[in-house]
Structure 1
Amino acid sequence: MFARLRGKVANKSVDRMILDVGGVGYDIMMSLNTYNQLPENGEEATLHIHTRIREDAFDLVGFADLEEREMFRLLLGVSGIGPRVALNILSGLSPAELVDTLMRENLASLTSISGIGKRTAERLIVELRDKVKDLEYGLNAQEAAQADRLGETLKQLQSALINMGYKAATVEKVATMLKPEVEDGVELGELVRLALQKMMKTR
């Protein structure tokens, strides 16, 4: 099994290339993301390799970086996702962007990729969301997803208080005061109770 190949780019197209390693040409599939990082024909390139052995074929899939190969392998673990579909996904989204999309449960971003319908997108989110949350290159995505959740909770809190007849300026001030509780994951009902207590004290 090959883990990495280094050689000269003999020929390349948007989805595969021939890498000349010591006079032997390796036919390698790849994503558009990797294609965009390849040097010109005749120049040297290094690819991280995923080897796929079947009864009738011996396929090599190449990646410009380890993060993309790791994400490719995670995608292959999802029911109904084969190598070509996985490469298609990675052609539309970089590994970091894909982590961000999964953590945000962004169906629109996934279904914008050719060949990915709503059911497949939902399956990708369900099966991969927990697996990608600890990836280092997904750290910003996790922070963004957490910020989204906090922002949504604050909006719900403010909406509940405004519907109870409190002025928007007062509600916004109290909601800001309760941000630490929101970050700690306090439930909405308890947040409303705490907000009412604070507003009574400030009267």
Structure 2
Amino acid sequence: MIGRLKGELLEKVPPQLVLDVNGVGYEVDASMNTFYRLPGVGQTVVLFTHMVVREDAQLLYGFYDRQERSLFRTLIKVNGVGPKLALTILSGISVSEFVQSVQFEDTAALVRLPGVGKKTAERLLIEMKDKIKDFQVDDVADFTLTDDFGDAPPVADNRAEAESALVALGYKPVQATKAIAAAEKGLEPGASSESLIRAALKSMVQG
């Protein structure tokens, strides 16, 4: 199994990135919380990974730190939560926020995430209650986006990329379009796709 990768960041197209490790390009799906902390394209990055082997595919998921990967691995053990949904959860909520939601039995915070209905949220609260004791809760992270995204693509491309990322994370196309349009109004003109995604996710998750 592949548990860690260190290499040059070749591509960043949320929620997927490509990492060049000694000439081999690894396609990795990452949560948006990990994307927010990545350096610019061309820089060296270390990712802690989890590999999922299926009959029709071999999928690699990457995380900026061990804590997020550990929560991902715990989430996918919950009945009804697969890797895609676990990644979506970790894109809309930080490790600290998730732990606090479980501790305070905040079902409302979880059902705002795409793919998490009331029954799934209740199951998460029940099954994760004892498991989160191993996770240390820090102050809720407010990650700063890197300014180095390589050559800035046109604004329309940023918008389309941001919408595609939200759809890939489980949001409906109409929902994604509305969320990105609303996010644009609160940001500087020409905002990066990652800034748009972050603003959109924050507004949808916080309701």
Instruction: Determine the structure 2 residue equivalent to 1:66.
Output: 66
User: What is the distance in 1 between the residues matched to 2:109 and 2:40?
Assistant: 31
User: What whole-Å deviation, never above 9, does each CA across 1:33-65 have from its counterpart, x for those lacking one?
Assistant: 001111111111000010111122111100000
Secondary structure of 2:28 counterpart: strand
Secondary structure of 1:7 counterpart: strand
Kindly state the Cα deviation for residue 14 of structure 1 after the two structures are TM-superposed. 1.6
Instruction: Determine the structure 2 residue equivalent to 1:121.
Output: 121
Secondary structure of 2:26 counterpart: strand
Instruction: Determine the structure 1 residue equivalent to 2:92.
Output: 92
Instruction: Determine the structure 2 residue equivalent to 1:110.
Output: 110
Taking a change above 3 Å as real, the CA distance of residues 6 and 134 of structure 1, as seen in their structure-2 partners, is closer
User: What is the distance in 2 between the residues matched to 1:134 and 1:34?
Assistant: 20
Secondary structure of 1:125 counterpart: helix
Kindly state the Cα deviation for residue 78 of structure 1 after the two structures are TM-superposed. 0.5
Taking a change above 3 Å as real, the CA distance of residues 134 and 4 of structure 1, as seen in their structure-2 partners, is closer
1:163-174 equivalences in 2 (<5 Å): none
Instruction: Determine the structure 1 residue equivalent to 2:27.
Output: 27
The letter for the 2-side match of 1:57 is A
% same residue: 44
Q: Which runs of 5+ in 2 are unaligned?
A: 141-207
User: What is the distance in 2 between the residues matched to 1:4 and 1:33?
Assistant: 18
Kindly state the Cα deviation for residue 97 of structure 1 after the two structures are TM-superposed. 1.1
User: RMSD over aligned Cα, in angstroms?
Assistant: 1.5
Taking a change above 3 Å as real, the CA distance of residues 139 and 37 of structure 1, as seen in their structure-2 partners, is closer
User: What is the distance in 1 between the residues matched to 2:17 and 2:97?
Assistant: 25
The letter for the 1-side match of 2:57 is A
User: What is the distance in 2 between the residues matched to 1:5 and 1:122?
Assistant: 35
Count of residue correspondences: 140
Q: Which runs of 5+ in 1 are unaligned?
A: 142-203
Secondary structure of 2:10 counterpart: strand
For the 8 Å contact 1:103–1:133, the answer to whether it is kept is no
Taking a change above 3 Å as real, the CA distance of residues 120 and 63 of structure 1, as seen in their structure-2 partners, is same
Higher RCO structure, 1 or 2 (CA under 8 Å, sep 6+): 2
Q: Could you state the TM-score of these two structures normalised by the residue count of structure 1? A: 0.66
Which protein is bigger by CA-based radius of gyration? 1
User: What whole-Å deviation, never above 9, does each CA across 1:133-169 have from its counterpart, x for those lacking one?
Assistant: 242x13789xxxxxxxxxxxxxxxxxxxxxxxxxxxx
The letter for the 1-side match of 2:37 is Q
The letter for the 2-side match of 1:4 is R
Secondary structure of 1:138 counterpart: coil
